Amino acid sequence: MDFQGKRVLVTGAGGFIGSHLTEALLRAGARTRAFVRYNGRGECGALSQLEPAVRGEIEVVLGDIRDRSGVRRAVEGCDIVFHLAALIGIPYSYEAPQSYIATNIEGTLNVLEACREFGVERLLQTSTSEIYGTAQYTPIDEKHAQHAQSPYAATKIGADHLAYSFFAAFQVPVVIVRPFNTFGPRQSTRAVIPTIITQALEGNEVRLGSVDTVRDFLYVADNARGFMAAALAPQDCVCGEVINLGTGRGVTIGQIVKMVGTQLKKTLAVATDAGRQRPTASEVYRLICSADKAKALTGWEPQVSLQDGIARTIEWMNAHRAQYQPYRYAV
C-alpha cells in the first residue's frame, strides 16, 4: 500500500496496535505523526521498541486525548487520522468507568471536532468486537446486535455512534474499523496470549481465568494492513461504514494453551485463577468474525496464520523476557 505524500496522525500510537500501525505507515511512505499520552519522563510507550532509524522518522507529539486544544494541534495539517487512543482494559473499566467515558467518548469527540474543522480526507475510528457481546450467531457480521457487557464496551459503542453521527450530520469522512482480538509482539500481559506465552516460558503451569471462551485472534500486522486498506479505499465505498477485521476462525483459550505448549515442546497445566475471571454476566463467551465486508470493500484478507503468529510472538517475547512479570495479573 502506497502512502507516499500522505500526512497521517495516529492517536494512541504508544500502544500495542498503535505502534505497529505507526511503523507500517512510515514504511509505506507516510509522513507520520504519533500522538502519545503525555508523561513527565518523555516516554513514548511501545514506540520506544522500534528500531532507532525508524523511530527517528516519526514526529512524536505528547498530549492527552481528553485535551481539546492538544488534539486540535495534533490533527492540524494531517490528511488521514487513525484514532486508536482509548482505555482498553476491561477489568479496569469495572473500577473506573468514569475515566473510560472521559477518554473513550469525550476524547473521540475531540478528534471528531478537530477532523471536521480541518477537513481531513479520512478518519479511521477504532472499534472493538467487544461491542457485540456474546455472539447471537456466528460468524458475526456488522449487522449483529450490539450488547455491552462491560463499561468498556459501552463507551466504545458510544464512541462509534458518535463517530457515525459526525459522518451523517457533518459529512466527516469516517470509517469505523472493528478488529477482533489482536495479538503479537509488544503486547502486554493484560491480554491473554502474552499471559500464556510469558508464563509458559517460565514454567509448565499457566494461571488463567476462563479457558472455554472462544475468540477470533488476529495477528497485529494483519490488523495494521486492515486499517491502511480502509484508509485508501474509495470514499464512496467505505465512508460511513463499519468494517470488521478478523480471521473467521474461533478457538478456545484452552486450545491456545495447547498451541503454545506444542511450539515450546512442553505440556502445560492450567490453574484457574478466580481473580482473573470476569463477572458471569459480563463474560463474552463467543466471538467469531465475518470479514466478508472488509474483503468486498477494501480487498483486505488476513495473511498470517494463528500458528505462525503465535510463533512470531513467542520469539519476540522470549527475546524481551526481562520486561515482563509473567505471574502478575495486569488489570
Q: What is the pLDDT of residues 297-318, one digit of tens each?
A: 999 999 999 999 999 999 999 9
Q: Where are the alpha helices (DSSP H) in 171-279?
A: 192-202, 220-232, 235-238, 253-264
Confidence of residue 176 (pLDDT cuts 50, 70, 90): very high
Domain coverage including residue 237: 7-183+217-248+288-302
Classify residue 222: in a domain, yes or no. Answer: yes
Classify residue 190: in a domain, yes or no. Answer: no
Confidence of residue 326 (pLDDT cuts 50, 70, 90): confident
Classify residue 111: in a domain, yes or no. Answer: yes
Higher pLDDT, 226 or 274: 226
> What are residue 7's DSSP bridge partners?
31
Using alpha carbons only, what angle is made at residue 20 by residues 223 and 327, rounded to the nearest 5 degrees?
Answer: 95
Q: Which of 277, 295, 195, 286 is nearest to 237 (CA)?
A: 295
CB 65 within 8 A of CB 112: no
- Please determine, for residue 330, whether its predicted confidence score (pLDDT) is greater than 80: no
- Cell for 226? 486492515
CATH of the domain at 132: 3.40.50.720
pTM score? 0.96
**Domain count for the chain:** 1
> What are residue 176's DSSP bridge partners?
125, 242
Q: Which of 81, 157, 156 is nearest to 116 (CA)?
A: 81
Classify residue 270: in a domain, yes or no. Answer: no
Classify residue 43: in a domain, yes or no. Answer: yes
The percentage of the chain sitting over the pLDDT mark of 90, rounded to a whole number, equals 92
Classify residue 191: in a domain, yes or no. Answer: no
**What's the mean pLDDT in 163-187?**
98
Average pLDDT of the residues of the chain: 96
**pLDDT, tens only, 229-268:** 999 999 999 999 999 999 999 999 999 999 999 999 999 9
Classify residue 256: in a domain, yes or no. Answer: no
- Cell for 104? 473513550
